[in-house]
Structure 1
Amino acid sequence: MSVRRAARAALGNLLARQFDDGRWEGEMAWNTMLLSQYLLTHRMLRVPLSASDITAARRHYEVTQLPDGAWPVHSEGPGSAYVTTLAYVALRALDVPPDDPLTGTARTWLGSQPGGVLALPAWGRMWLAMLGLYDYRGINSIPPELTILPGTFPLHPDQLYCHTRFVYLGLACLYGRRAVFGLEEQLIGELRQELFDGYGSIDFAAARTVLCGSDLVLRPHLVLRVLYGLLASYERAPLRWLRRRALAVCSAKLRAELSASRGHGISPVSALLAILVAAHEGRPHQEIVASLRALDAWRWLDDEEGLRIAGARSSAWDTAFVLRALLASKPSTSAAGAGRAYQWLCAAQQTDELAPDTAAGRDAVLGGWCFSDGSHRWAVSDCTAEALSSILMAHDCPEWAGELGDQLPAARVRQAVDFVLARQNPDGGFGTYERMRSPQWTNRLNPSEMYLDCMTERSHVECSASCVAALARFAARDSGHRHDAVAASIRRGVSFLRARQRPDGAYPASWGIHFTYSAFFVVEALSAAGVPSSDRAIAGLVRWLETRQKPDGSWGEHYESCLTGEYVEHPEGQAAMTAWAVLALIGGGGPQAAIDRGLRFLADLQQPDGSWPQQASSGVFFGSAVLDYRLYRQVFPAWALGEGTRLTSGPAAVGGQDDPVDVGRRVAGEEMHD
């Protein structure tokens, strides 16, 4: 199939995936942990599930279990004792017998692991403790008293990364109360026998320092281990008045978050904990049931893989990228779908501010876009930037004028710009939900054991690149709104990106795998900001991409790059990664031969219906949490093929502007190359 025909087929595949309301959304597949917690919460709170939900949940456990009986922490990883233990207990709570093929093999696998269930990470121990299956003395302290320290203290919860903040608040509240919801007495006894060797004789206090197994990604720092020892002494006789006050603060913050997020929480991870806190406090049962129903917004259900709980919903993020892919195609053939997507995206913007009684500790959200449809009201810098870029570029497409309807008002465009500007950090880079609040050394005191760099917000290459590109595109179209602030922000953002380039020309990433992912965003940003392709920031990256191209024309990077900090090649070429590299080469003036070979690989890998097959995961967070963004392998190859056809028939700048170099220099007011 020719590249041009492949591009047309890819466009048809994308348009066929559009939802009725105009959006696109692909699943973000992770592991069974959230499904297990969701099922266990229903059982703990005596809220029954339907028979169809139970059947669909079992289906998901069946299709995700590894041949050795374990469940992995992600689709390409080995078995995880933490994920497998939760899955086993959830299945048993669904009345699956211990000798069932699912549970029997899982229990055998767990028994073969160093340390067994006793050595689970703290998060897993907490869930077992709440079920009456683990003694709280075996868990390192999660002190709620941090909430009553001065608000500027670096380890105060309000200073932590927002996802970590609300997980901490929930766990600290439940730990501080030694909450036990429990299952039926007979089931608890059976599970204790099945999971442990001699449960009654275990010295759980001694097990507090036992850490081993595949789930241990980051061993606690020496300073943290010393603090744990001191806190263990305090936990034997905590100051009751102090703990009561701290627990009240934790509880109030959790209630405010559920209210602000319309019951969804920033994620189902923390929302489930907040609901358990509310139930333990004795809130009315009907209120608890309603809260659990609100969490159904995170459900994902289909016949192939059954029921699962998404860690995030990505509708605004995905829709913005699909709009860009449609712009790279022949616009007249996709105008109707693009118009519906444009209208949906405009409607997803945050058009009012959080209520004062729920906004404590939160940054402003007005003008921003969330990763999802916006209902949970956690707007993000790069989601806002990518939505803004796609909207501005759609305005420049005369073929779509009749389909777009009323354009997003200039006032709301400017609110989006203000939102982005507010996320810039002192180092010139951009955070995600908020600016940096605490110093990076707090990551040395990371207690998660499973994740890296999760303690504080920081500047990210991809977020910074998205923001720089959006601000440059805005300034090229509207020079009247905060011109000096926007120009200064672009200059500082470009300087941040320059500083993050490695000697070999590559850039690290935080949210994708890894160096290949960041290459696409960096070239877009630098080009939009007026940096010429001859500049070493782009030219060095282009040379790096050339050296990583496989003989078949593809690119493929293994998720281990995120853990090692060095490029690790995947054995197979990947559609999404090849598309990122091709787009970066097109935008960076890379060699036509390398671009053509990449496009040919994408065309050859394409399936008859215009789609691309399931391949390796392409997303990640906190270094070790690998995600499969299911739509990435459809949208980015379509985008790359669309740009490739434009390259042979007219102007093919990735940014879609007549002269991005001149525009960027006009915005920044200075020469931006070395």
Structure 2
Amino acid sequence: MGYKSISYVSISKQAVYWQIIPKLRLSTILMSCYAAKISLPEEVERELLRYILSKQLPDGGWGLHLKEQSTVFGTTFSYIAIRILGLGPDHPDVVRARINLHKKGGALGIPNLGKVWLAIMNLYSWEGMNSPFPELWLFPTWLPGHPSTYWCHARHITLAMSYCYATRLTVEEDELIQSLREEIYVEDFSTIDWPAQRNNIYEADLHSAHSWMLDAAFATFNLYERYHFTSFRKQAIAEMYEQIKADDIFSNATNSTFHVLISRYADGADSPIVDNPPNYQRYYRQMNKGGFPFSNRENDWIVSDCTAEAMRTLMLLEEKCPFIEDHVAPQRLFDAVNVILSMRNSDGGFASYETRRGSRLLEIMNSSEIYADCMVDHTYIECTSSVMQGLKHFGKRFPNHREDEISDTLNKALQYCRNMQKADGSWLGRWGVCFTYGTWFGLEAFACMGYIYRGGEACKEVTKACEFLVSKQMEDGGWGEEFESYRFRKYIQHTVSQIHQTSWALLGLMAVRYPDVRVLERGIQVLIDRQTSIGEWPQGDIATAFYKAGTLHYNAYRIIFPIFTLARFTRLYPSSPVAKGLLKNGSVHSEQSQNGRC
């Protein structure tokens, strides 16, 4: 079974997909290209249109992701996207979408980020936005609420939005813009009271309501906006643009869709290449030498768990693959450890891109309206567990390198894991759905520190976590958890077991050597039964989550995690009849491959 999966991956990795782009970002890419007068190949436009229409809901609208009901945000953005891609206003799918949008009161109820993009597209007035107070970027960094303390993504989205607001960046009016003004609103565009729309958010779009402090801040900022100092505003615009240019140089742009427009606005169509910024701290970046980014090297935004997992993978490849002769220089691994140790938070755990800089109170100032828990780079069980596994493996390879610091980091990270475990034994996962995902990482953390089952017994944390997972095993032997678990912060059972969650649960149980092998065999059998003839597994439901309302589509999850699971099971339980069947099928397949028949 695993051999067929690896064969499938080796074939499918050669194709290029837009697999993980959220629907929201897809629409902004199209709006950015339209505004910057960038043409896409005809075949790309055709496939993008096909994809967007394939996700249209029965009521004619769209949500932000596949599990969400239709919203003003999702419907407005997808509507504009399919119009940009060439569908006329009388096309049946466009008419259905327009009817849906009008039933919701039109595009006026779109959340803050949507208002910004509509204003850029000349489909909304900048007067209909609460002022983000662009001058805040000129204030000292010790000021509470300074953008330098935000989570990196929140910081750079705020940066781009503030620049666009301060400069009133707007595309030229043309025939499509004029038509869209008539299509997406119930009212006549020229009669809309724009200031009255600043806090108008459609109920289904609101995932993070304004706090009274945020409303008070907006009232103050809006008043200042009426009388702001021109010279002060120009300084703020210059500072924001310098920050944006620095991000483009440091990485391949956190907010490339915004940056394309801003660069064209500021520098024209032939934007010059600027010099490297003098230092990363000036631009609120963290040291990154030795770290690994979320995607490719050019991205340059290192992540704690990516660094730890990559470091451990490099060491494992060298240890397990004797044919690899070109080993990584030890100093490169030392650099990775250096950056990991620099990212530890005061609670002992690890965040994603940076150390946590701001207080949780910053969430009170969250103005996104569609996302929650996005202002601060919080500490996560996933990142903490990956760091622990990476450092533990490194310590075995290099026992004398920063030994005391690594030991202290591991002990404090384990205590963080203890502190974050819920009463039912689970951990909340923030980057996958949800308690199944988090509990897998929690168990891996304890396992790497030696806390596993011995003689049928384990420590209380491991025992409770395993009891939690086993209690959620479904009748068919698999596991399935709804995306809504992440939103409501409580476990919600799926009606159908899911491949990715079955794999996560099994990996967690096997990590601590859960003694009831029958529980494991039932789950493994689900993976075996659902594998297709070409080696893949069905896509299943949403596997990833962020900010309570966002999702990403990682197509590889349904392949990678079952392979991990089957490999671990056959290695740990080779005498199991299920494992013997897997090994037998695998060896037969291998012989056929060598003989050229498969």
TM-score using structure 2 length: 0.91
Aligned partner (choices 558, 582, 593) of residue 518 of structure 2: 593
C-alpha displacement of 1:623: 1.7
* Cα deviations by residue, 1:202-261 (Å, 9 ceiling, x for unpaired): 111112122223221111111111211222211122121211111111111001111111
Q: Which residue of 2 aligns with 1:576?
A: 500
Structure 2 contact 389–445 (Cα < 8 Å) conserved: yes
Aligned ranges 1:291-370 → 2 under 5 Å: 356-357=278-279, 360=282, 361-370=284-293
Q: Which residue of 1 aligns with 2:176?
A: 187
* Cα deviations by residue, 1:82-120 (Å, 9 ceiling, x for unpaired): 12212222332344210113321111110111x431110
Would you say 1:483 and 2:406 are equivalent positions?
no
Would you say 1:542 and 2:466 are equivalent positions?
yes
Q: Which residue of 2 aligns with 1:49?
A: 40
Q: Which residue of 1 aligns with 2:352?
A: 432
Q: Which residue of 2 aligns with 1:383?
A: 306
Q: Which amino acid aligns with 1:625?
A: G
Would you say 1:416 and 2:336 are equivalent positions?
yes
When residues 524 and 27 of structure 1 are mapped into structure 2, their CA distance, relative to the original with a 3 A threshold, is: farther
Structure 1 contact 43–183 (Cα < 8 Å) conserved: no
Aligned partner (choices 186, 194, 213) of residue 204 of structure 1: 194
Aligned ranges 1:8-19 → 2 under 5 Å: 8-19=3-14
C-alpha displacement of 1:57: 2.2
Q: Which residue of 2 aligns with 1:275?
A: 260
Q: Which amino acid aligns with 1:632?
A: Y
Q: Which residue of 2 aligns with 1:76?
A: 67
Q: Which amino acid aligns with 1:368?
A: G
Aligned ranges 1:442-591 → 2 under 5 Å: 442-533=362-453, 534-590=458-514, 591=516
When residues 364 and 650 of structure 1 are mapped into structure 2, their CA distance, relative to the original with a 3 A threshold, is: farther
When residues 285 and 359 of structure 1 are mapped into structure 2, their CA distance, relative to the original with a 3 A threshold, is: farther
Unmatched 5+ stretches in structure 1: 1-5, 292-353, 652-674
Question: Identity of paired residues, percent?
Answer: 29
Q: Which residue of 1 aligns with 2:547?
A: 622
Q: Which residue of 1 aligns with 2:151?
A: 161
Aligned ranges 1:369-408 → 2 under 5 Å: 369-397=292-320, 400-402=321-323, 404-408=324-328
**SS at structure 1 position matched to 2:238:** helix
C-alpha displacement of 1:133: 1.2
Structure 2 contact 63–73 (Cα < 8 Å) conserved: no
Provide the C-alpha distance between the structure 1 equivalents of 2:2 and 2:177, rounded to a whole number of angstroms: 57
Would you say 1:631 and 2:556 are equivalent positions?
yes
Q: Which residue of 1 aligns with 2:530?
A: 605
Provide the C-alpha distance between the structure 1 equivalents of 2:11 and 2:322, rounded to a whole number of angstroms: 22
When residues 631 and 495 of structure 1 are mapped into structure 2, their CA distance, relative to the original with a 3 A threshold, is: same
Structure 1 contact 32–71 (Cα < 8 Å) conserved: no
The aligned length equals: 568
Q: Which amino acid aligns with 1:412?
A: R
Provide the C-alpha distance between the structure 1 equivalents of 2:133 and 2:263, rounded to a whole number of angstroms: 18
Which segment drifts farther, 225-234 or 250-259? 225-234
Q: Which residue of 1 aligns with 2:247?
A: 257
Structure 1 contact 30–75 (Cα < 8 Å) conserved: no
Would you say 1:151 and 2:141 are equivalent positions?
yes
Aligned partner (choices 265, 269, 288) of residue 285 of structure 1: 269
TM-score using structure 1 length: 0.81
Provide the C-alpha distance between the structure 2 equivalents of 1:155 and 1:42, rounded to a whole number of angstroms: 33
Q: Which residue of 1 aligns with 2:89?
A: 98
* Cα deviations by residue, 1:438-489 (Å, 9 ceiling, x for unpaired): 1111012110001111101121110001001111111112112100000000
* Cα deviations by residue, 1:472-513 (Å, 9 ceiling, x for unpaired): 111112112100000000001000001000010000111110
Larger RCO of the pair (alpha carbons < 8 Å, separation 6+):
1
**SS at structure 2 position matched to 1:620:** coil
Provide the C-alpha distance between the structure 2 equivalents of 1:142 and 1:169, rounded to a whole number of angstroms: 9
Structure 1 contact 30–74 (Cα < 8 Å) conserved: no
**SS at structure 1 position matched to 2:551:** strand
C-alpha displacement of 1:189: 2.4
Structure 1 contact 366–415 (Cα < 8 Å) conserved: yes
RMSD: 2.0
Unmatched 5+ stretches in structure 2: 577-598
Which segment drifts farther, 134-143 or 433-442? 134-143
Q: Which amino acid aligns with 1:240?
A: T
Q: Which amino acid aligns with 2:146?
A: H
Provide the C-alpha distance between the structure 1 equivalents of 2:329 and 2:362, rounded to a whole number of angstroms: 42
C-alpha displacement of 1:396: 2.6
Q: Which residue of 2 aligns with 1:671?
A: none
C-alpha displacement of 1:177: 1.7
* Cα deviations by residue, 1:130-187 (Å, 9 ceiling, x for unpaired): 1211111211111111101111223212111101111111100110122211341x33
Q: Which amino acid aligns with 2:487?
A: L
Structure 1 contact 27–631 (Cα < 8 Å) conserved: no
Q: Which residue of 2 aligns with 1:235?
A: 225
When residues 47 and 183 of structure 1 are mapped into structure 2, their CA distance, relative to the original with a 3 A threshold, is: farther
